[in-house]
Each structure stands twice: as structure tokens, then as C-alpha cells.
Amino acid sequence: MESQSNTRSIEIGQRILSKNDKVAMELRKTYAQDNLFVINLMSSPGSGKTTLLENLAKHKLLEFSVIEGDLQTNRDAARLNTFGVNAHQITTGDACHLEALMVQEALGILRAQGDLKDFIFIENVGNLVCPASYDLGANMNIVLLSTPEGDDKVLKYPTIFLCADAVIISKADLIDVFNFKVAQVKEDLEKLKKEIPIFLISSKDVESQREFCKFLQQNKEKNYVSCHTF
């Protein structure tokens, strides 16, 4: 018979904060103090994150600065600079996500350049998995799902959709081409117990972009802060 141990385990109902979580908490305070509204855009590679930002700038729908994340090259920052957007590129090398410390440094650089707008987009590294594990302290986490990727992704990659405050179905002009079912995405988000706004956006439809900007402005006025854990 096994001897009974005198030890017992106690459940501690508190997450142990990682270094990233601690920096994300600091960032959250900085955003609030400086009246910044920060949006973390996450998606697969090529789903249209940079194109959306280009369009917001081109049509003068919102004034914003950008922190760009890619494994290599400064191509996305250069694309946005062409439209007069102050965009700072982070190249992560092998890392498939941005971390809070990288964002903190980039924010310092944008600030030092003296052109920090009230809205800041963080374009995360294109990946539907890793960014969901790194809190960047953003006011809003927004996931893009483009129509060519298929309408079945919400339940296949639930973690990233669980931390989303809104979902953008991008390349909406191709809905019919790819037989993309918006109802499937809604149903799967409901299965994840998420009632969140869904925007259908196309680079060819300025109104869809305007509606999205209105949503961001309303949430900035409300001082919305994401409550989702990473």
C-alpha cells in the first residue's frame, strides 16, 4: 500500500505573469496616459493587412502611425511611407510574432520622430497561431480572415479568434469566387461563445473601410480596452 503524503496542493487562482505580460501591462498604461488607441492586426500572411492600411491613408479616412512586423524586409513600412504614413518596421528574424518589448521600443522610436498619431496600428507578423500567445497591451485585437483562405478557419485556429475584439472578413469582393460563407464564420464564432463585430471589407469598397474607421473612432471615444487574455 502506498504511504499517504502529508502534503496537499493548493489551487492559486492567479496567472503567473511572464516577462511579456509585464511589459504589455506597462504598455497598456502608456497608451492610456498618452491617449493612444492601439490596434493589433493579426492574420495569415497575405490576407490584406497592409492593403487595408494603405487604403485608410489613401482615402484619408483616419490619421494613424504604424508599427510593422515581418520576419524580413522593410517592404510594408515602405509601402505605407509612400502614403505619408509614419511606419516603423520591426524585422523579427526567425520569430513568427511580435513581442511587447519590441512594440515598446518601436513606440519610443515613433515618438522620438515627433509624429505619433492618436491611432496606432500594429501589423503583426503574418501567422494565425503565434501572435495569439503574445499580449501587446493593445486596446483592440483584430483578426483578418480573407475570403481565399476559406470560411472554416475560426474553429481550426480558435486561439487567435478567442482573443479577437472584432473580425474582418477581407477581400470581400471575392466572396462569390471562393464560395465563402459569412454565415459559417458567424456560426463558428458563436460556438466559441463570441459575440463580436464582423466587418466585410474590400479594397474596392471605400464605404466598407469608412464604416470600420467609424467603429474604431467610437471605441476610442469610449476608451475601450480589450479584456481578452493571451
Ligand X SMILES: Nc1nc2c(ncn2[C@@H]2O[C@H](COP(=O)(O)OP(=O)(O)OP(=O)(O)O)[C@@H](O)[C@H]2O)c(=O)[nH]1
DSSP H/E element including 113: none
Binding partner of residue 173 among ligand X, Mg ion, none, CB cut-off 5 to 8 Å per kind: ligand X
Per CB under 5 A, the list member of 54, 76, 99, 135 interacting with Mg ion is 76
Which is nearest to 67 in space by CA: 92, 95, 33? 92
Task: Estimate to the nearest angstrom the gap between the alpha carbon of 94 and the chain centroid.
Answer: 20
| 171 belongs to the binding site for ligand X (CB under 6 A) | yes
Among 45-53, 57-65, 88-96, 218-226, the segment contacting ligand X (CB under 6 A): 45-53
Per CB under 5 A, the list member of 20, 44, 50, 170 interacting with Mg ion is 50
Strand partners of residue 142: 41, 166
Question: How far is it, in rounded angstroms, from Cα 44 to Cα 57?
Answer: 22
Binding partner of residue 137 among Mg ion, ligand X, none, CB cut-off 5 to 8 Å per kind: none
Question: How far is it, in rounded angstroms, from Cα 212 to Cα 63?
Answer: 14
| 108 belongs to the binding site for ligand X (CB under 6 A) | no
Lookup result for grid cell 516603423: 88
The DSSP string of 162-176 is HT-SEEEEE-GGGTT
Per CB under 6 A, the list member of 18, 30, 51, 92 interacting with ligand X is 51
| 46 belongs to the binding site for ligand X (CB under 6 A) | yes
Per CB under 6 A, the list member of 20, 61, 76, 165 interacting with ligand X is 76
- In the complex, the residues that contact ligand X under the rule CB under 6 A are 43, 45-51, 76, 126, 170-171, 173-174, 202-203
